[in-house]
Structure formats: C-alpha cells, structure tokens
C-alpha cells in the first residue's frame, strides 16, 4: 500500500480515491460528485473527502469545509499555483481543520511552500523517496510572511 | 541602503543551499528537465541560444560598491568578462556554466545579493526611480516601500507559481521615472487632503503582446494596508488569471476581461474577506526599514558654477549627463552605458571595478542601475564633478548622450536570446554610425528610442518615443517602427505603428526622414514625441515612406 507524508511523518494512506477503489471505507471524491451526490455520500457510512481540481471554485466548499475530514487539492505540476490560494482560503476563511492533502504531480521542491499555505499531507508519485522529501520542510528556517503553518516548521520571523 | 539582518541573510543563504541541491539532482538525473526548469527560472537561470543566462536581482536598482566589485569578479571568473544591465534594473551574465551557478549565487549571498525570482511566473524585482531620495520633485522616497514589498514578495508561499510573471514598480514623484503605468501593479506615492502619505494603486499595465497602460483601482491606500491590498490583488490574479494560454496570462487580461470596475469589485471582495488576518505593516517595521534610507552625511556646501572655464567636452557632459540634486552643492551623475563601442547596458569587469572605486570615493558608496540601462551616482559633490568626469572618460563611461537618440534601450536580440526574431545590436551600430554628430543629437533633443528583438518587448519598444521591433518574415529579419509612445507619468502611452516594416539597413534613413519631418513641424522647444502627438502620425508616415515609395 502506498504511503504518504503527513505532518512531517511517513504514514499509511488510509484513504482511497474513488476512481481507485469505490468500496474503500474512506474515499476521496471529485467536487462534482460531492455536489451532486452529497446526501447519498454522507448516508453511505463511509468517510468522505472531497478533491478540488485547480479550476474548481473553492467557494463551492464554503459551507461544508468546517465539517469535512479531508480535502484534497490537485496540482498539475510545479507551474500550477491555484492550489496555494485554495489552501489559503480553506484554512483561513472557511475554518477547515481537517487533513489538507496535495495530490497529483507533487514534488519535493513544493512541500515547504505548500506547508506554509496550510497543506499538511502529501501524496507523492510512485517511486518518490519519501525520506528525501521529508528534508524539504527544513529548506528554510526563516520567513518574511506569516503562514498557516499547520505542519510544525521551525521558522523564525521578524517581529512586526 | 538596506542592510541585511540575520533573517534576510539566512533566507538568501538557505536559498542557495536549496538551489545547489536542485542543481545536483538535475545533473545526477533524478530531477527531470521540465521539473528543474521552473526551479532554475526562479533562481534567475535561463537556457539561451548558446549558453545559460543568469539574471541577478538588483532590488530597485540600488547597489553598494562592494556589490559592484562582486559583479566584476563574477564577470571575470564565471563569464567572458562582462555583464549586461537590463530594463528591470538587474544585471545579466550571458555565459555562466549551469553547474557553477550555485557557486555564483553563494558569492552573491556574501554581499547581500541574490537571483531569487528574477525570472519565472512569480513576483519579479520591484523597480523604482533611479533618482529616489535625491530628486527635487519627490513627494517621498520610494525605496523603503520597495524594500518592504521586496521582502513580502520573496519566497511568498502563495504567490510563487502565478499564471505569468508579475512586475511591480513604485514611484515617489509625479514625473514617474519608474514607468509605473506599464507594470502589472504600479504604485504612486501621494498625499491625501489631510497631508497623510499613501499609495495610488494601478493595475494591468504591461508590455509584451497586447501592451496596455495600467488603470487606477485605488486612489489612496494607507501604508499599513499596502501589503493587504497587494495580497488581495495577487490572490484574485492567482485564481482568475488564465493558465491555458501563455499569451493571455498576464493580469492585464483579467482586468480587460472583467472591465476595471468589476475587477475592482473582485479585489474589494477579496480584500474585505481577508481583512481580519491580512498582513499589516506596523509603524515599527516601517520605521526600521526607513532608517536604512536616511540621507547620507551631506556637507553644507553652496551650489557652485563648475563649468565656467572648463572645456567643451566637460560642459557637454555636465549638460547632458548630470541632474539637479535636492541638496545644494551636489548633483546626480548618469554614467552612460551607451558608448558606441559596446551594446547598450553592457559593461566590462574592469569598468565595473573602476565604477566601484568612483562610487566609493565620490558618491557615498552607492550607485543605482536605471531602467534605461545606465547607472546613476546619486550624490556627487559639484566640486568633484570634473574629476568624476575625467575618471569616467578614462573608462569610456562618459559618452555625453544621456536622453538623446543614441541613449537607446535594446534587448540582446538574436545575438544571444532564443526568443528573438531579429538582431538588435547590429541596428544599434547602424544608428550610432549614422548619428555621430553630437550637435545634431542635441538639436533633436530628448528622444527615447527603444528596441526589442521580438514582441516579448524586453526593450520596451511600445513605449519608446521611437520604438523598433524585430519581426521575422519568412526567415528574414525585418523591423517595425512605432512613434509617439512614452513610459513616464501621465504622459505614458503606447506608440503607433507607422506602416510596413523595414530592412535593417533602411533604419538609419527612416530615422533621418522622421527627424526631417520633426524639425520642420516642431514648435519652439517641443520634443519629438510632443510633435508626434500634436500632429498625429500622418506627416511622419508620409515622410518615412516618401523616399521608399519613390525608389519603388
């Protein structure tokens, strides 16, 4: 079973994307499915997480965010940056406190800034060395901006 | 100027370590080319036609002599002995080795410099007025605000992967020597009716394809709210900017698609929603950064006549290449990087070293890079001007052509750049050869000629009084001419194309014909661009093509 990084640790992935295994007890469904099958999904007894694609409007989860246990943000590679703002809005504005997971094409070099936007779990591609990826959280020990550091980063900022 | 504290220093040092690791993984084959690309670009490294190009950041153009000496050393040890100052007040090296770039960055970090975000789809170097702090028409020194914005933008976790590059400029004067209206965000320092200082915020300017002039979305934003306002604009852009078409990805397209009113409402809504936690600049932090830009220890000196009794060469240089200073007894000196012997903006390692010495001795250890590819010694005692002129003349940096036709902006063009359609430096040479009579140049007065080798417009051709754009026609180099543009202040506007393109060798004749029309139509002291705007382009068009049509 594939592992993932969560809160700076390598852990078992207890969630499945619905396309991989619709029968799993904890599934991540696309936003469109959540919007159309919301009641049935909630009644299914499964744990339900929702996945946002970059072009999905994060506002669609405005009312649900505080109750969802997991939201996944899809990244299409280094150039795709909408997920950072989606993360920001979910954490800062919609009070989302569950697992915020980066999925898709996620690489080591993004983890530090993702963590600073409140993303705390990372599905890396098959074959990625998770132990090497863990070192990314220490790329910087200082920052200029306030962040939403739900991952424990050892950061110093200037007062003021 | 700003001095790094431990936080600033650690960020650049850790950035170098991060990039060294990325470079090593790329060279070892564990980081794919396309994945490395976005990372190297954010550290200033392009892959050009013949070699990589490294663009080093010069925040708002401000440099110490130690930093200039480091530029010289890097030019000598890692390049072919020269560097190229750009229209973003940065410097580029055209021949570094990819594997050695981390070493270069480490050297830069040792003098409080870096190449962070000088390329790639992120917030680029914040640019400003090269006469900041010394200009007589200044409302307030923009440099502390540039530094605060620089820090906010550096490794910003949310805005590092934008739809496209993002440029911010700040001016403290209505004369606007920072071209704020052709930036993604332009900030103009102003006072409100109560005499409080704040910023007018313009959005959506930019050159490249579909050039446009920025529009005001906020008339007055307070210093405390500045970063919150920028965050709101950037968040709207990050989410709404187009990512499906690189040619329509700049923020100007979001502004255009929605209209400026609707765009302002979008930013308003975002700003209101983030008000409770958006970054707020504290008075203490503003005061801390401002303290680094306190005026240097000026001497109490009278203004003096330094030209009487001096030769013509010096007088011409004084007239063209120096500027008034707000403190009596001082003047600002423009160091011309527009010698006929080198491409615009180019400078050798020996010149850099010599400039560093002059800077140290005569201008409080500071020098500025300008967006028109020159340097400025901002604080020279009038009594030292003659010596400074002699020293600059010795190293060929005193060509008395600042503000004239041959003070051209040009990108490197097809000689070096992989995006270019046409050469620019050969055209620069042709123009320099034809227009070598200084008296004629002075008679023509202020002319901003700007040249780009392709429509990406690194040479800002759209806003040239005269713009020259290299175009490709079935594999041949042709040049399109625009007139009537301007980058500055309320004057800012885009030029109009005068007609069909020209071959390279036709350009000097075309210019000569345009000037003939100008000299005929000029009223009193009217500049070329003002005549064009008064008469429209028709007479110029007729003049430019008259000869050509006859020949045909």
What's the CA gap between B340 and B343, in Å, rounded? 7
Q: Measure the CA–CA gap between B66 and A4, rounded to whole angstroms.
A: 47
Return the CATH number of B134-289, one of 3.20.20.70, 3.30.413.10, 1.10.3720.10, 3.40.1710.10. Answer: 3.30.413.10
Is-contact B165 B120, C-beta < 8 A?
Answer: yes
B307 CB neighbour count, 10 Å cutoff:
17
The CATH label, of 3.40.50.2300, 3.40.50.10490, 3.90.480.20, 1.10.3720.10, for the domain at B6-109 is 3.90.480.20
In the prediction, which pLDDT does B491 show? 86
pLDDT reported for residue B552: 43
Q: How many CB atoms lie within 10 A of CB B391?
A: 18
pLDDT at res. B549:
55
Other beta carbons within 10 angstroms of residue A18's beta carbon come to 18
Report CA-CA distances (Å) from B302 to B11, B252, B329: 44, 48, 5
According to DSSP, residue B206 is labeled B
Among A60, A88, A145, A147, the residue to mutate for chain B (most B Cβ within 10 A): A145
A8-21 pLDDT, tens digit per residue, is: 999 999 999 999 99
Q: Where in chain B is the domain with CATH 3.90.480.20?
A: 6-109
The segment(s) of chain B belonging to CATH 3.30.70.3340 are: 312-394
Q: Is the dihedral of CA B343, B349, B354, B355 positive or negative?
A: positive
- Measure Cα distances from A15 to A19, A58, A97, A101 in Å: 12, 21, 17, 11
Could you tell me the strand order of the sheet in which B185-191 lies?
A: B127-128, B168-171, B185-191, B197-203, B215-221
State the pTM of this model.
Answer: 0.96
Could you read off the pLDDT of B489-511 as tens digits, one per residue? 888 999 999 999 999 999 999 99
Looking at residue B79, what DSSP letter applies?
S
Mean predicted confidence (pLDDT) in B445-466: 95
How large is the ipTM?
0.97
CATH, range B312-394: 3.30.70.3340
Residues shown for chain A: 160
- Residue A81 is nearest to which of B10, B161, B273, comparing CB atoms? B161
How far, CA to CA in Å, does B170 sit from each of B62, B219, B252? 14, 14, 18
Angle CA(A68)–CA(A72)–CA(A74) in degrees, nearest 5?
155
- Residues from chain B that touch A79, judged by Cβ atoms under 8 A, are 38, 121, 161, 243
Got the DSSP string for B230-284? HHHHHHHHHHHS--S-GGG-SHHHHHHHH-HHHHHHHHHHHHHHHTTTS----HH
Can you say whether the dihedral through the CA atoms of A136, A140, A141, A147 is positive or negative? negative
Contact of B198 with B220, CB cutoff 8 Å: yes
Distance CA(B509)–CA(B4), nearest Å, equals 51
Report CB contact under 8 Å: A139, B35: no
Cβ atoms of B330 and B298 closer than 8 Å? yes
Distance CA A131, CA A136 (A): 10
Q: Which of A90, A77, A143, A93 is nearest to A113 (CA)?
A: A143
**Domain boundaries of chain A, sorted by first residue:** 3-138
Write down the pLDDT at residue B243: 95
CATH architecture of B409-551: 2-Layer Sandwich (3.30)
Q: Which residues of chain B approach chain A closer than 8 Å at the C-beta?
A: 5-7, 10-11, 14-15, 17-18, 22, 34-35, 38-39, 121, 151-152, 154-163, 235, 238-239, 243, 273-274, 277, 279, 282, 284-285, 288
Q: Give the Cα separation of B544 and B516 in Å (integer).
A: 9
Q: Which of B2, B18, B294, B281 is nearest to A144 (CA)?
A: B281
Phi, psi of B235, rounded to the nearest 5 degrees: -70, -40
What is the reported pLDDT for B208?
87
Kindly identify which residue of chain A lies nearest to residue B32, measuring between CA atoms: A107
CATH entry, A3-138, from 3.20.20.70, 3.40.50.620, 3.40.190.10, 3.30.360.10: 3.20.20.70
Q: How far is A110 from chain B (nearest CA, A)?
A: 9
Across the range B3-26, mean pLDDT stands at: 97
- How far is it, in rounded angstroms, from Cα B540 to Cα B538? 5
Which of B152, B158, B251 would you mutate first to test chain A, the one with the most A CBs within 10 A?
A: B158
Q: What is the pLDDT of residue B550?
A: 54
Q: What residue ranges of chain B are covered by domains with CATH 3.30.413.10?
A: 134-289, 409-551
Across the A:B interface, residue pairs with CB atoms under 8 Å apart total 97
pLDDT tens digits, B30-89: 999 989 999 999 999 998 767 799 999 999 999 999 999 999 999 999 999 999 999 889
Query: Given the structure tokens 């030019």, which residue do they identify?
Result: B75
Beta carbons of B155 and A107 less than 8 Å apart: no
d(CA B45, CA B399): 32
Q: Which of A81, A140, A141 sits opposite B160 (nearest CB)?
A: A81
């Amino acid at each position: 079973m594939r592992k993932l990084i969560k809160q700076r640790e390598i852990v078992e992935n207890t969630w499945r994307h619905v396309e991989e295994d619709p029968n799993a007890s904890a599934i991540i469904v696309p936003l469109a499915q959540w919007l159309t099958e919301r009641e049935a999904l909630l009644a299914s007894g499964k744990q339900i997480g929702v996945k946002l694609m970059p072009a999905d409007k994060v506002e669609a989860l405005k009312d649900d965010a505080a109750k969802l246990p997991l939201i996944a943000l899809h990244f299409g590679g280094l150039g795709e940056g909408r997920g950072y703002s989606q993360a920001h809005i979910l954490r800062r504005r919609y009070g989302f406190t569950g697992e915020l997971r980066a999925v898709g094409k996620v690489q080591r070099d993004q983890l530090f800034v993702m963590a600073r936007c409140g993303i705390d779990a990372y599905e890396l591609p098959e074959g990625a060395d998770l132990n090497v990826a863990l070192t990314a959280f220490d790329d910087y020990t200082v920052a200029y901006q306030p962040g939403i550091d739900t991952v424990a980063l050892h950061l110093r900022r200037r007062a003021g | 100027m700003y001095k790094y504290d431990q936080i600033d220093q650690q960020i650049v040092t850790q950035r170098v370590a991060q990039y060294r690791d990325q470079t090593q993984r790329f060279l070892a084959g564990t980081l794919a080319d396309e994945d490395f690309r976005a990372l190297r670009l954010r550290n200033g490294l392009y892959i050009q036609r013949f070699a990589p190009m490294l663009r080093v950041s010069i925040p708002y153009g401000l440099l110490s002599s130690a930093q200039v000496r480091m530029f010289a050393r890097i030019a000598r040890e890692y390049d072919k002995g020269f560097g190229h100052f750009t229209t973003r007040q940065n410097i580029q090296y055209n021949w570094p080795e990819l594997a050695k770039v981390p070493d270069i960055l480490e050297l830069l970090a040792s003098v409080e410099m870096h190449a962070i975000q000088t390329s790639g789809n992120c917030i680029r170097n914040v640019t400003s007025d090269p006469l900041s702090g010394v200009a007589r028409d200044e409302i307030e020194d923009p440099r502390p605000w540039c530094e605060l914005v620089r820090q906010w933008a550096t490794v910003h976790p949310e805005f590092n992967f934008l739809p496209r590059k993002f440029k911010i400029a700040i001016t403290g004067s209505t004369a606007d020597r920072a071209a704020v209206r052709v930036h993604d965000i332009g900030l103009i320092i102003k006072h409100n009716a109560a005499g409080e200082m704040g910023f007018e915020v313009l959005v959506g300017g930019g050159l490249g394809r579909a050039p446009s002039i920025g529009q005001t979305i906020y008339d007055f934003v307070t210093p405390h709210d500045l970063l919150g306002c920028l965050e709101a604009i950037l968040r709207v852009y990050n989410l709404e900017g187009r990512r499906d078409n690189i040619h329509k990805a700049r923020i100007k397209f979001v502004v255009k698609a929605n209209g400026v009113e609707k765009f302002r409402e979008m930013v308003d809504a975002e700003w209101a929603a983030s008000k409770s936690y958006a970054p707020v600049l504290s008075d203490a932090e503003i005061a801390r950064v401002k303290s680094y830009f306190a005026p240097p220890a000026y001497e109490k000196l009278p203004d003096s006549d330094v030209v009487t009794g001096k030769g013509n060469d010096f007088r011409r240089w004084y007239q063209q290449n120096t500027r008034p200073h707000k403190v009596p007894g001082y003047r600002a000196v423009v160091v011309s990087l527009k010698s006929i012997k080198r491409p615009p903006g180019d400078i050798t390692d020996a010149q850099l070293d010599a400039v560093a010495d002059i800077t140290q001795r005569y201008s409080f250890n500071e020098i500025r890079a300008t967006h028109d590819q020159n340097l400025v010694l901002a604080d020279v005692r009038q009594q030292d001007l003659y010596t400074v002129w002699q020293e600059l003349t010795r190293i060929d940096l005193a060509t008395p052509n600042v503000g004239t036709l041959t003070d051209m902006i040009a990108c490197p063009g097809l000689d070096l750049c992989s995006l270019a359609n046409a050469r620019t430096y050969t055209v620069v040479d042709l123009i320099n050869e034809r227009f070598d009579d200084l008296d004629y140049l002075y008679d023509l007065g202020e002319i901003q000629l700007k040249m780009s080798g392709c429509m990406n417009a690194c040479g800002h051709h759209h806003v040239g009084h005269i713009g020259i754009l290299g175009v490709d026609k079935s594999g041949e180099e042709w040049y399109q001419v625009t007139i009537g543009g301007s980058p500055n202040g309320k004057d800012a506007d885009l030029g109009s194309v005068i007609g069909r393109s020209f071959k390279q060798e036709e350009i000097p004749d075309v210019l000569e014909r345009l000037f003939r029309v100008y000299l005929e139509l000029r009223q009193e002291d009217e500049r070329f661009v003002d005549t064009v705007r008064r008469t429209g382009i028709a007479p110029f068009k007729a003049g430019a093509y008259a000869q050509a049509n006859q020949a045909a």
